[in-house]
């Protein structure tokens, strides 16, 4: 496709529109995005009920196995919020431990704007959290079976030998913000999406089940395999942080690669590829 350029300039050549994302892929993408949004904010609400993480099977005053503690305490100048990570303590007043209006601060691990519900309401947070946890788990399972049957997993997500050979070049291109728009995912995309779909999300689900008292009764060895319920809770939290990191990088890459084209792909399925090498001109889009 060639767009008319101004007089005296080379024509601007656009690539072909290809059908990149199927209806099923787009549907599951938005279900997962919605689910993870509510899981994150309700998860922080649940965390606020006991804002500390441990390694091992037990926790309490008789143990010194905490790896993260968020809280507040009184000082000579007034209440102070703090966060302790692996024994290193940081003043996090205004964000973690102590937040809200300066005249009437609230003692809570994560601030009101970062939790659902915004107030301290553990019961509601758990109900909403579990609903979206089951929605995410069910959709992921159906997607996995369907992707195995229709070849999407093998065709579009599994990295091959050629993909791995291109990995150094893909890393260099991304570092230079030089993107290639094609029907197929590049190596970094395949590795990133595979890591989320087959490592982080399953790990999030398994650790969530390991923390459930009912699952402890039904499958008592699950928590032990993960090092105990407290360790499972810590892994659950760390996995959440990694998913948030993936989301931030994902958004930055979309903005850098062309948000209109990327958004059109995940909404309508149609994606504009780069023009053939011989048709590219200065000013191509």
Range of the domain at 175: 2-51+115-277
Q: Are 132 and 239 in a shared domain?
A: yes
For the stretch 142-165, pLDDT in tens is: 999 989 988 888 888 999 999 999
96: in domain: yes
Same domain, 122 and 181: yes
- At 61, the pLDDT band (50, 70, 90 cuts) reads low
- pLDDT at position 58, please? 65
Residues 24 and 69 in one domain: no
Please indicate, yes or no, whether residues 42 and 77 belong to a single structural domain of this protein.
no
Please, which pLDDT band fits residue 216 given cuts at 50, 70 and 90? Answer: confident
pLDDT in tens, 220-268: 889 889 988 999 999 999 999 999 999 999 999 999 989 999 999 999 9
pTM (2 decimals)?
A: 0.86
Of 109, 129, 158, which residue constitutes the final position of a domain?
A: 109
Last residue of a domain, one of 85, 109, 133: 109
- Does residue 282 form part of some domain? no
CATH number at residue 184: 1.20.950.20
Residue 285 resides in a domain:
no
| 7 — pLDDT class (breaks 50, 70, 90) | very low
Res. 13 pLDDT band, cuts 50 70 90: low
Q: What is the pLDDT of residues 80-120, one digit of tens each?
A: 999 999 999 999 999 999 998 888 899 999 999 999 999 99
Query: What is the DSSP annotation of the chain?
Result: -EEPPPTTSPPEE---EEE-S-HHHHHHHHHHHHHHHHHHHHHHHHHHTS-EEESSS--STT---EEEEEEEEEETTEEEEEEEETTEEEE-TTTSEEES-TTS-EEESS-GGGSSSSSS-HHHHHHHHHHHHHHHHHHHHHHHHHHHHHSHIIIIIS--HHHHHHHHHHHHHHHTT-----SS--HHHHHHHHHIIIIIHHHHHHHHHHT-HHHHHHSTHHHHHTTSHHHHHHHHHHHHHHHHHHHHHHHHHHHHH-HHHHHHHHHHSEEEPPPPGGG--TT--
> What is the number of domains present in the chain?
2
One domain for residues 188 and 208: yes
Q: Are residues 27 and 159 in the same domain?
A: yes
């Amino acid at each position: 496709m060639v767009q008319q350029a101004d007089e005296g300039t080379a024509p601007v050549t656009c690539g072909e529109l290809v059908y990149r994302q199927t209806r099923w892929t787009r549907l599951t993408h938005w279900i997962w995005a919605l689910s993870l949004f509510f899981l994150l904010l309700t998860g922080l609400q649940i965390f606020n009920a006991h804002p500390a993480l441990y390694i091992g099977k037990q926790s309490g005053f008789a143990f010194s196995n905490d790896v993260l503690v968020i809280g507040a305490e009184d000082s000579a100048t007034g209440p102070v919020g703090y966060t302790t990570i692996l024994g290193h303590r940081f003043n996090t007043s205004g964000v973690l431990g102590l937040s809200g209006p300066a005249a009437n601060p609230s003692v809570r691990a994560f601030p009101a704007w970062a939790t659902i519900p915004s107030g301290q309401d553990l019961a509601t947070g758990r109900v909403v959290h579990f609903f979206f946890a089951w929605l995410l788990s069910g959709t992921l399972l159906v997607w996995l079976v369907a992707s195995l049957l229709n070849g999407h997993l093998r065709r579009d997500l599994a990295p091959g030998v050629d993909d791995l050979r291109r990995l150094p070049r893909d890393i260099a291109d991304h570092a230079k913000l030089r993107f290639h728009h094609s029907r197929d995912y590049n190596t970094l995309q395949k590795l990133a999406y595979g890591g989320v779909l087959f490592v982080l999300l399953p790990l999030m689900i398994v650790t969530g089940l390991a923390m459930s008292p009912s699952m402890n009764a039904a499958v008592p060895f699950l928590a032990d395999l993960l090092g105990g319920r407290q360790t499972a809770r810590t892994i659950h939290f760390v996995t959440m942080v990694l998913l948030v990191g993936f989301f931030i990088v994902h958004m930055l890459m979309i903005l850098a690669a062309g948000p209109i084209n990327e958004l059109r792909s995940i909404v309508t399925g149609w994606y504009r590829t780069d023009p053939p090498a011989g048709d590219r001109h200065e000013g191509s889009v």
